[in-house]
Amino acid sequence: MPDPAVPPTPPVPLTALLAREDLALRQVAGPSAEGVVVHWVHTSEMADPYPYLLGGELLLTAGVHIPEAAGSGTYFDDYVSRIVAAGGAALGFGVAPVHDTVPRALVAACERHGLPLLEVPEQTTFSGVARAVWQLMAQARLAELRRVTEAQQNLASAASRPDPVPSVLRQLARRLGGWAVLYGPEGTEIARAGREPGQEAAAALAELAAVVRPADGQAASPPPSPPNRPHPTSATDTVTGTHLAAYALGAGRGFVLGVAAPGRAPGDHTIVSVAAVLLSLLTGEQQSGTGAARSAALVRLLLGAAPEDVAPLLGDGRRWVVVHARPDGEGVPDAVAAGALGAALGSALVDPAGDVVRVLVPADRAPDPLPGWILGVSAAVAPEDWAAADTQAARALARARATRAPLLRHGPRPALADLVPPDEAAAHARTLLAPVTAHPALPETLRTWLSLHGSWDRTAVALSVHRNTVRQRIARCATLLEADLDDPDVRMELWFALRHI
């Protein structure tokens, strides 16, 4: 049988259920409850419950389905074997109101088939057992969230220490109760921490790291993936009872995080993922030395240098794009999420400003859509045009949110507007739009509304305001401008003017 599909909730140890005094459950047959977990509770009086089980259940029955002559035939053997075949975790038998005791033949069948059998006393209802399982699941989930939150805080603190890479590895190994190692692009160990596993497990972990190391890393890589099959960024294995995992760090730099732990507890994957993000950022700085260069660029900008003069300190890119990103939801990205976005885009020039993250990316690394994010991307510009590109990216993001697109790019192209000298166009725009420019929200609302073809709802989404607010602002614009905004010629002239303010 394949492994049963289980819900995304932490399982409940059967021993924890047996320890509940209010339930007074008693194991009367089957193997020890140690190591047995329950994923959910199901009540059934079917003679063959197999079709109704998904696996991992504590199946509860009062024995209504048991025929009178069941003890002398194969009924109980057939019944228990079907529960085991379906992946049932345990069987709970209620001794009331149909039976006074658990049938001996059922006890014997559970012993033969290795299924834990629990006696449910008369005062304990099946709904009470189910409620206890959900309560234990909620407690386990809360404990898991607390553990993950504490681990995130400690890993972030470790990353800010003077020796960030070893500190993060030590903290990760402590949280997992195992071993953490950072492999370089050549496959050599750069740093390690924790209790080293056996030689066989350590060798297997090194092989696992080679599997996920990017093909363009400096070390010898495994055979290329088949066509149309993406290169794996993580891999897991189990060797001699030790759980192994390897995670590729960054965007093709060749660093790999390897972990080995004696067990796999809920929340471990989340904790390791946080460590992988932090190490991606740290190894990026370690390899390229861009941290000091970025500090130097910042100081020079503050002291009056022009963007084009400091751009060489930030990389080899002569042209750049600005990316504005927002989570595809209601959440506000934190520093770790912003850093992860920058790592995915291949840039450490990240500004997590409120609910929008801005990233400055070399033009040759033009981003693709990223799961969980909505992106607005500017045109490729020279450093002296970074400010204009920032505006382009903001507008592209607003259109992407309004149209529910994962990514939109600003696409400049020759237009009739290019025939008008910029100074004359700007003077015309100032004159035409003077009545509304005194109210900062009105020009931006009018620009967004026109760009979205007069859609109230999409404009409201793009500006994060109510649709009635959009209607009121557009009506105010029409009044101040003394213009019919339903006239396409008026819209065209206003759109032209709005591009020059």
Structure tokens at 284: 């990026």
Indicate if 342 and 367 belong to the same structural domain: yes
Out of 63-67, 120-124, 317-321, which region has the weakest mean confidence (pLDDT)?
317-321
Is 141 within the bounds of a domain? no
Please report the pLDDT score of residue 158 as a whole number: 82
Of residues 5 and 125, the one with the higher pLDDT is 125
Say whether pLDDT at 291 is over 70.
Answer: no
Is 466 within the bounds of a domain? yes
Residue located via tokens 């500017």: 378
83-104: average pLDDT = 92
Secondary structure (3-state) at 311:
helix
Indicate if 90 and 47 belong to the same structural domain: yes
Residue located via tokens 């709802």: 457
Structure tokens at 402: 């309004």
| Angstrom distance (rounded) from CA 486 to CA 471 | 13
Indicate if 375 and 404 belong to the same structural domain: yes
pLDDT band at 286 (very low <50, low <70, confident <90, very high): very low
- What residues does 350 pair with on adjacent strands? 359
Indicate if 338 and 358 belong to the same structural domain: yes
| Angstrom distance (rounded) from CA 208 to CA 27 | 42
Q: Residue 22 belongs to a domain with what CATH number?
A: 3.40.1390.20
Domain end residue (candidates: 135, 170, 191): 135
CB atoms within 10 A of CB 342: 26
| Angstrom distance (rounded) from CA 134 to CA 10 | 10
Please report the pLDDT score of residue 480 as a whole number: 92
Structure tokens at 334: 């934190």
Is 311 within the bounds of a domain? no
Structural domain of 489:
417-498
pLDDT band at 352 (very low <50, low <70, confident <90, very high): confident
Indicate if 165 and 131 belong to the same structural domain: no
Is 154 within the bounds of a domain? no
Structure tokens at 327: 């989570």
CB atoms within 10 A of CB 42: 17
Amino acid at position 201, single letter: A
136-158: average pLDDT = 87
Residue located via tokens 């559970």: 110
197-209: average pLDDT = 88
Indicate if 350 and 370 belong to the same structural domain: yes
Structure tokens at 350: 């990240």
CB 395 within 8 A of CB 376: yes
CB 256 within 8 A of CB 209: yes
Amino acid at position 381, single letter: V
Domain end residue (candidates: 94, 120, 135): 135
How many distinct structural domains can be found in the chain?
4
CB 209 within 8 A of CB 188: no
On average, the pLDDT of the chain sits at 83
Indicate if 349 and 261 belong to the same structural domain: no
Is 322 within the bounds of a domain? yes
CB atoms within 10 A of CB 5: 10
Q: Is the pTM of this model over 0.75?
A: no
Indicate if 399 and 429 belong to the same structural domain: no
| Angstrom distance (rounded) from CA 361 to CA 320 | 6
| Angstrom distance (rounded) from CA 144 to CA 385 | 47
Please report the pLDDT score of residue 220 as a whole number: 36
Is 6 within the bounds of a domain? no
139-144: average pLDDT = 87
Structure tokens at 295: 């500090």
Q: Residue 466 belongs to a domain with what CATH number?
A: 1.10.10.2840
Structure tokens at 263: 């067990």
| Angstrom distance (rounded) from CA 429 to CA 9 | 59
Indicate if 129 and 184 belong to the same structural domain: no
Out of 73-77, 122-126, 176-180, 492-496, which region has the weakest mean confidence (pLDDT)?
492-496
Structure tokens at 395: 């507008």
Q: Which residues contact 133 (CB under 8 A, 6 or more apart)?
A: 12, 17, 38, 40, 41, 58
Q: Residue 170 belongs to a domain with what CATH number?
A: 3.30.450.30
Domain end residue (candidates: 135, 168, 186): 135
CB 338 within 8 A of CB 324: no
Structure tokens at 175: 């949280």
| Angstrom distance (rounded) from CA 393 to CA 407 | 11
66-91: average pLDDT = 90
CB 236 within 8 A of CB 243: yes
| Angstrom distance (rounded) from CA 145 to CA 33 | 26
pLDDT band at 78 (very low <50, low <70, confident <90, very high): very high
CA-CA-CA-CA torsion sign (301, 303, 305, 311): negative
Is 104 within the bounds of a domain? yes
149-164: average pLDDT = 81
Per-position DSSP letters for 78-145, written without gaps between them: HHHHHHHHTT--EEEEE-SSS-SS--HHHHHHHHHHT--EEEE-TT--HHHHHHHHHHHHHHHHHHHH
Crossing angle of helices 126-159/268-288, nearest 10°? 10
Is 294 within the bounds of a domain? no
Q: For residue 421, with 0-12 CB atoms within 10 Å meaning exposed, 13-18 middle and 19 or more buried, which class applies?
A: exposed
Indicate if 470 and 352 belong to the same structural domain: no
Structure tokens at 359: 């990233």
Q: Which residues contact 247 (CB under 8 A, 6 or more apart)?
A: 212, 233, 234, 256, 257, 258, 272, 273, 276
Q: Residue 369 belongs to a domain with what CATH number?
A: 3.30.70
Q: What is the pLDDT of residues 237-284, one digit of tens each?
A: 888 888 888 888 865 567 889 999 988 777 888 898 888 888 887 776
Of residues 44 and 213, the one with the higher pLDDT is 44
Most confidently modeled of 81-90, 311-320, 444-453?
81-90
Indicate if 90 and 193 belong to the same structural domain: no
CB 446 within 8 A of CB 476: no
211-221: average pLDDT = 56
Say whether pLDDT at 300 is over 80.
Answer: no
Structure tokens at 114: 């290795």
Chain-centroid distance, C-alpha 321: 25
Indicate if 279 and 164 belong to the same structural domain: yes
Phi, psi of 362 (to 5 degrees): -55, 140
